[in-house]
Amino acid sequence: PAQTPEDRFDAVIAAEQRIEPRDWMPDAYRATLIRQIAQHAHSEIIGMQPEGNWLTRAPSLRRKAILLAKAQDEAGHGLYLYAAAETLGVDRAELTEKLISGRQKYSSIFNYPTLTFADVGVIGWLVDGAAICNQVPLCRCSYGPYARAMVRICKEESFHQRQGYELLMTLMRGTDAQRRMVQDAVDRWWWPSLMMFGPSDAESPNTARSMAWRIKRHTNDELRQRFVDMTVPQAEHLGVTLPDPELSWNEERGGWDFGEPDWSELTRVIHGQGPCNAQRVDRRRAAHEDGAWVREAAVAYAAKRAAEQAA
């Protein structure tokens, strides 16, 4: 029998090769990728806000230069990801519109406030650390443009993680007040960081299909476990306590047992009721509206250039 486009698609996936923009793909595969890549892009862009809060108040020129560079990297990640989403036939303007009208999601983690400068370090260590755990496997995602975008993003994320850890090491070598500030930030960010991996496998409607399509390479719980195992020794080295009384080494499994995140909190934050959801989306909408003149000028310039070239 003749090979159908679907047979070819299945064969490419089974052979661990990449699906490219012009290849035939099932509608649901396309829709899943658009959903995930758009959410991911939105997260990078919204993710600039919590740390942006400290740009004008960084304690030294060096810390300010590092933080500025990091926020700029995040803008860049958002752009690669919007470009990857556009290869699937959607338009960046349309995705932005869906974000600011609340029809598309972004990561729950960016709806928490950054109360002290230690939060900048903890975001680098825990939030970017969780992002790396989640994203390194996406370099092997079956969709070529997404997988390739992730390679550079992961390299930059690993730099972000190290800068966070170095910032915290510096604070831990400081005064008692600085050490308390770090511990307080760890207490506030630990559980939300675990929630970044999404609901438990039993409650995750998308995982099975995304794994079969090799978009996701591990389940939410597998990645969460990997993150905990990686982070516990780092916390010990740093000298902070992770706020989970149930953390204990499981000799048999060779991994850390840990407590259950408050899933009702994750649900609330995903559905718009986290501490900063409204503020984050309002800020994004205002920035988009303030930037209208730039987009208009770019379109007018492109039209003028096109007319000159046609003449």
Residue ranges in contact with ligand ACO by CB under 6 A: 35-36, 39-40, 43-44, 47, 105, 107-108, 131, 134-135, 195-199, 204-207, 210, 216, 220, 270
Following DSSP, what letter does each residue of 14-36 receive, concatenated?
A: HTT--B-TTS---HHHHHHHHHH
- Residue 53, SS3 per DSSP: coil
Q: In the complex, what is the shortest distance from the CB of residue 293 to ligand ACO, in angstroms, rounded to a whole number?
A: 28
Q: In the complex, what is the shortest distance from the CB of residue 199 to ligand ACO, in angstroms, rounded to a whole number?
A: 5
**Cα–Cα dist 205/197, whole Å:** 14
**How many alpha carbons fall within 13 Å on the CB side of residue 234?**
18
Q: In the complex, what is the shortest distance from the CB of residue 86 to ligand ACO, in angstroms, rounded to a whole number?
A: 17
As given in the structure block, the two tokens for residue 206 are 């998308």
**C-beta of residue 224 within 8 angstroms of C-beta of residue 194:** yes
Q: Which amino acid is at 298?
A: A
Where are any strands of DSSP class E within 210-289? Answer: 248-250, 255-257
Q: In the complex, what is the shortest distance from the CB of residue 130 to ligand ACO, in angstroms, rounded to a whole number?
A: 7
Q: In the complex, what is the shortest distance from the CB of residue 114 to ligand ACO, in angstroms, rounded to a whole number?
A: 14
Following DSSP, what letter does each residue of 78-121 receive, concatenated?
A: HHHHHHHHHTTT--HHHHHHHHHTTSS---GGGGS---STHHHH
Beta bridge partner(s), residue 257: 248
Query: Which is closer to ligand ACO, CB of 96 or CB of 210?
Result: 210
Query: Which is closer to ligand ACO, CB of 165 or CB of 179?
Result: 165
Q: In the complex, what is the shortest distance from the CB of residue 127 to ligand ACO, in angstroms, rounded to a whole number?
A: 6
**Cα–Cα dist 135/77, whole Å:** 12
